[in-house]
Amino acid sequence: MIAGLLDMASWGLVLAGSLVILVGTLGLLRLPDLFTRLHGTGMTDTMGAGLLVLGMLLQTTDWLIAVKLVLILVFLAITSPTTSHALASAALYGGLTPWRLSDRKDEP
**DSSP class of residue 5?**
H
Amino acid at 35: F
Nearest distance in Å: CB 82, another protein: 7
The verdict on 73 binding another protein (CB under 8 A) reads: no
Does the protein bind another protein through residue 60 (CB under 8 A)? no
Select from 18, 75, 21, 72 the least CA-distant residue to 44: 21
Q: Which of 47, 56, 57, 69 binds another protein (CB under 8 A)?
A: 47
DSSP reduced 3-state for 71: helix
Q: How far is the CB of 5 from another protein (least distance, A)?
A: 23
Nearer to another protein, 32 or 59 (CB): 32
Report whether 34 contacts 96 (CB < 8 A).
Answer: yes
For residue 51, CA distances in Å to 31, 35, 89, 94, 96 come to: 24, 25, 29, 35, 34
Question: Residues in the site for another protein, rule: CB under 8 A?
Answer: 20, 23-24, 26-27, 30-32, 35-36, 38-40, 42-43, 46-47, 50, 64, 67-68, 71, 77-78, 80-82, 84-85, 88-89, 92, 98-101, 104, 107
